[in-house]
Structures are given as structure tokens and as C-alpha cells.
Structure 1
Amino acid sequence: MIRVLIADDEALVRSGLRMILESSGDIVVVGEAQDGEAAVRASARLRPRVVLMDVRMPAMDGLTAAARVLAAPDAPKVVMLTTFDLDEYVHEALRLGAVGFLLKDTRPEDLVAAVRTVAAGQAMLSPTVIKRLIGAFAQRPASRSERARDRLALLTAREEDVIRAVARGLSNADIGRELRLTEPTVKAHVSRVLAKLGLANRVQAAILVHDADLT
């Protein structure tokens, strides 16, 4: 079972999310929090695998709470939820290490799929968010592309192949089939790439590849 913590200041939203997730059969909601401070405490106490974190909450906002949750040892995967798709929320959430960013109008089946995806170690972004990120990439200055390419120059040819595939949203299994590698080998390459580049997760790796214009 995938253990999930829901953090949202609206009781009705929390109830709706719990109902959707627990109807899946393989997800259990182990706790709820109505503000950021409660979310940080609950995450430490309940040790969920995934935290659904609302961006705007009282006492402590979701981005601040996410940073504290992600700083803990063996931190859970954090998916940010919001009714707003403003760029600053997306970029800051990904910078902090969140592996998902979903709008609250996401369909129930997509929400369940997102939780399963991030629990399996993959990243999940809503189509709307992806469009916003692509738009940001198109407007990036040349100096940013140059810095990104300089960072990627640290990688071997095989590691670059792997990170390009990651940027296309492929799973480890898909990358293995494409590059004729075993899945454990792909996983080892991804871990080594993230460590070399000082990245927190696959989303940040994908952003770096896009910045370098290597997709």
C-alpha cells in the first residue's frame, strides 16, 4: 500500500482527495493536515511515502512546509497541489525538490496515477504545468543555456544518453529498452548523474537538459 499524507486547509478538499485515493485499492491516506506546520509534524510522525501539499495554507505555506519535509532524512515524495498555475509556484516547488505539481482540477484517475508514479520514483507534472515550463524554456537567455551545457559536460556519453531520455519523461524500463541496458543499470546511471550534477530528482534533471537545448 502507498502511504499518503494530505495537507490542505479545506476540510472538504481533504475529504474528497481521501475518497478518490482510497478508492484505488492500493493507496491508504495515513493522515491529514490543515496547515503547513501540521504537515511537517505529521510527515515526521507518520512517515508517508507521498505527501500531497497544497501551496496556499495558513500558519506555514505549502512551499515552506515542502522544503522542511524534503530536508528530513528519508524524505517522502512531495506533490504540490494548487488551483493556481503561476510560474513562481512551479519553479520554486521544483527547485525545492518536489517531484510533482498538479492543479486541483486534475481528473480523479490522473490524481491516482500521479501518486502511483511518484511513489515509484518518477516525476509527475500536469499538462498545463508542462506547457508553462516549455514556454519558460523558450524564453531562456543564451547565458543560461551555456551554463547548462557546461554542467552537462561533466557527464560521460552514456550518462548524457540517459539524462536525455529522462528529460523525455521515459521510465527506467523504457530507457533500458531504448539504450539496451538492464533496468538496474539505468537506475545506477540516473543516481550517478543526479549526484554528479547536484540535482535532487528527475524533474530538475529534465529542466537542466531543456535549458541546455539538448532535447
Structure 2
Amino acid sequence: MNVFEAVKQSVTTRQAAEHFGIRVGRNEMCVCPFHADKHPSMKVDRRFHCFGCQADGDVIDFVSRLEAVSPKEAALMLAQAFSVPYEDKEPPRRRKPRQETPEQQFRRMERYCFRVLCEYRNQLGRWKRDYAPKAPEDDWNPLFVEALQKQDYVDYLLDTLLSPDMEERAALIASYGKEVRTIERRMAELEAGAAAGRDGGHRSRAAAPERP
């Protein structure tokens, strides 16, 4: 079985998307990396299809387009990433590490910034809804305050990333790339803290003695 057949049988597009840092929902929908997509419009399972830009294909097509490489390079990348065995009639050769072109680096960083900012924007919306004070005398939760302060700012950054002016997008990435990484780390820490709290509450309830 050659590398194309082996990869297509062993790896789904959803697995590949998640491997490359794309968050996929339970409904198998994700933000499309191939067009300016603010809301999840791509379905990824064994294949992929975007209901917005109509991008469509199998897992090799997906990685080839995502990483701007040939289908053969995409298949080999997937075989290595997911330890997929295959028959190769070519004699083994030591392959030099593939160097990203400046354009590939820019596209990768652009997709990363857009993904993180979309997730942060959605999180701000949840905080604004869930932590809104119930009465005028209630103290304001810091996450509610953050949502009020940051929503317009994040919308501005996302609108800039959707700009047709590549120089404007590149300037934003150069200026705010570090801040986007900080946002991603903070969201991960908050999620980990929330998960730990849920687990701790579950263990406390499980360990509580029954009342006579």
C-alpha cells in the first residue's frame, strides 16, 4: 500500500485539523482556514467541506492546501505525524528538514492569530452573558469587566485580519503576535482552572459520607 492509500485509510481530516491546531466542535464544524471565516463553516470528518468557500477534499488535499506543499509532501507529513506504515518503492533517503517560506510563515501566523482571537471573542461573549450582575448593587465580576473592555478591541483586530490589504494584516501580526500568544495561554490557564474546580467538586461530592 503506497503512502497515499495508507494515509487516507488511517487518518481522518478531523484528526489532521486538530493536529495542526484547529479546534473542532462536537458537531465536527470548525472555522475554515481557507477563507476569512468568523463562524465555523467547515465540516471535517473523514473528508472536509466548507459551506462558505466550497473548499472540499480528502485529508491529503486538506494538509496540502493548509501547509502550501505538494500532495506527496502532505502525505509524507501525515504518515510521519501519525506513524502510518506504508510501502515505499523508492530507496530510503535522508530528507532535509523542510524550511518554511516567508509566505508560509505568514499564512501560518495569520491562521493562528485569527483562530485565537475568534476563540477569545466567543469567550468574551460568554463572560458578558454569564457574569453580568443580577442586581444594581452586585459587585462586577472581573471577567464581565474584561468582556466590556475588550470586545470592541478584539473586533477591531479581527476586522483588520479580514482586510484585503496584506501590508495592514502583516503589520497587525508583527505588532500583536506576542499579545495573541499571551491571550491563548491565559485562556488555557482559565480552562485548566475551571476543569480542576469541576473535578474537585465532583470528588468532594463522591467522598461525602451519606447522611443517616
Q: Provide the TM-score with structure 1 as the length reference.
A: 0.30
Larger Rg: 2
Q: Decide which structure has greater strand share.
A: 1
